[in-house]
Amino acid sequence: MKLKPSIHGLLFNELEEFCFSQGLPKFRAKQIWDWLYVKRVSSFDEMQNLSAPFRARLAEHFVFQTLEKLEIKGSPGETQKLLLKLTDGELIEAVLIPARTRRTVCLSTQVGCKMACAFCASGQCGFRRNLTAGEIVEQVLLAAELYGERPTNIVYMGVGEPFDNYDETLKSVHILNHPDGLGIGARKITISTSGVIPGIERLAEEGLQVELSVSLHAPEDELRSKLMPVNKRWPVEQLMDACAAYTEKTKRIITFEYTLIKDTNDSPECARELVRRLRRFPSRVNLIPLSPVEEFDGERSTPEAIRQFFQTLEKAGINVTLRDSKGSALKAACGQLRARRI
């Protein structure tokens, strides 16, 4: 039996087509979209300006909500981690990161991850499956419910590799970005990749203003391949070429994520090599002190090593920031999210 899709996985024009196929005028799609993303109701029955038979028709074709909230860690107003159950019993995590004026949501795109980065919890149990666009969008709606307001920023930095699930990820971006719905501006949406070049190349062609982050973590192949097996497929030089082409084409600045691991990738030589790599085109670097992950015995760099690494980049004129990774008490910080089974 084919499972009914989530209504939240439809693009606006797909919803219009659905209305049309049911013999209804397309403006009905706008009304439904408004219930879904502006009023954010929790069932078809609450869509009061639709006839009962049409609401029944919608329910025949679509599921309203496919994610179930199993657990919320953390208190309102602070970082909160959501454990969510999918219809097939798989589990994912999403994180709410409130700051002064921002309400950010960190989204998962897959159950598990194929990338198997040594220091990241998300890939430790392997890969289970891709999320659908509906499952990605629903994470944002559950976050909106907890925030009590529409989220302002989205980061695709939860479990999974967004570019290993390119189509559903991009579809979710279009749904979240739609001006008559949640209207989350493309510039407020960040997609992070471990360096999947075909994804970077495709994104360059989308004509979208989204932010792109690339998880680099090492400036040369030997070390990067040890930390990130994805580097064997797409080595540093090729990755840099793809990033240069992306910057050239989109005129948008890429942020390179660099997790600092003691005595591993935090030496002055690494900093200098990184500077050399980044000379070719404008970019930003975001340094992240390693978050503890059980399966990885590396340690966070010392404050002194972090300071030196930072300064080497800064002195070379690179735009560098140090990320204060939120939520490590909840195991909700960078690299600590995982797919779990109950």
Q: Which of 193, 247, 250, 265 binds ligand SAH (CB under 6 A)?
A: 193
Q: How far apart are CA 301 and CA 236, in angstroms?
A: 23
Torsion angle, CA of 192/165/135/178, rounded to 10 degrees? 70
What residues between 210 and 229 interact with ligand SAH by CB under 6 A?
Answer: 215
Q: Where are the alpha helices (DSSP H) in 130-265?
A: 133-147, 166-177, 197-204, 221-227, 230-233, 236-250
Position 231 contacts ligand SAH (CB under 6 A): no
Q: Which residue lies nearer to ligand SAH by CB, 219 or 335?
A: 335
Query: Side chain identity at 215, as an amino acid letter?
Result: S
For the CB of residue 142, give the shortest distance to ligand SAH in the complex, in Å.
19
Position 334 contacts ligand SAH (CB under 6 A): yes
For the CB of residue 335, give the shortest distance to ligand SAH in the complex, in Å.
2
CA 123 centroid distance within chain? 15
Task: Tell me, by CB under 6 A, how many residues bind ligand SAH.
Answer: 18
- Of the candidate spans 27-35, 57-65, 135-143, 190-198, the one that interacts with ligand SAH by CB under 6 A turns out to be 190-198
The catalytic residue among 90, 93, 211, 220 is: 93
> What count of other Cβ atoms lies within 10 Å of the Cβ of residue 254?
23
What residues between 62 and 101 interact with ligand SAH by CB under 6 A?
Answer: none
What residues between 281 and 320 interact with ligand SAH by CB under 6 A?
Answer: 288, 290-291, 293
Position 239 contacts ligand SAH (CB under 6 A): no
Q: Which residue lies nearer to ligand SAH by CB, 29 or 301?
A: 301
> In sequence order, which residues have a C-beta less than 8 Å from that of residue 78 and are 6 or more positions away?
98
Residue 297, SS3? coil
Q: How far apart are CA 2 and CA 225, in angstroms?
A: 40
Position 120 contacts ligand SAH (CB under 6 A): yes
Position 135 contacts ligand SAH (CB under 6 A): no
Residue 192, SS3? strand
Phi then psi for 69, rounded to 5 degrees? Answer: -75, 120
With vertex at residue 212, the alpha carbon angle to CA 90 and CA 101, rounded to the nearest 5 degrees, is 85
Q: How far apart are CA 228 and CA 255, in angstroms?
A: 18
State yes or no: is 334 an active-site residue. yes
Please say whether the beta carbons of 289 and 303 come within 8 A.
no
- β-strand pairing of 319-322 with 283-289: parallel
For the CB of residue 259, give the shortest distance to ligand SAH in the complex, in Å.
4
Q: Which residue lies nearer to ligand SAH by CB, 32 or 200?
A: 200
State yes or no: is 120 an active-site residue. no
Q: Which residue lies nearer to ligand SAH by CB, 12 or 119?
A: 119
For the CB of residue 73, give the shortest distance to ligand SAH in the complex, in Å.
18
The catalytic residue among 19, 113, 243, 334 is: 334
The b-or-e profile of 198-232 (16+ CB within 10 A means b, else e) is: ebbeebbeeebebbbbbbbbbbbeebbbebbbbbe
For the CB of residue 257, give the shortest distance to ligand SAH in the complex, in Å.
4
- Of the candidate spans 8-16, 23-31, 186-194, 243-251, the one that interacts with ligand SAH by CB under 6 A turns out to be 186-194
Residue nearest to ligand SAH (CB): 335
Q: Which residue lies nearer to ligand SAH by CB, 117 or 240?
A: 117
Catalytic residues: 93, 334
Task: Return residues touching ligand SAH (CB under 6 A).
Answer: 115, 117, 119-120, 157, 161, 192-194, 215, 257, 259, 288, 290-291, 293, 334-335
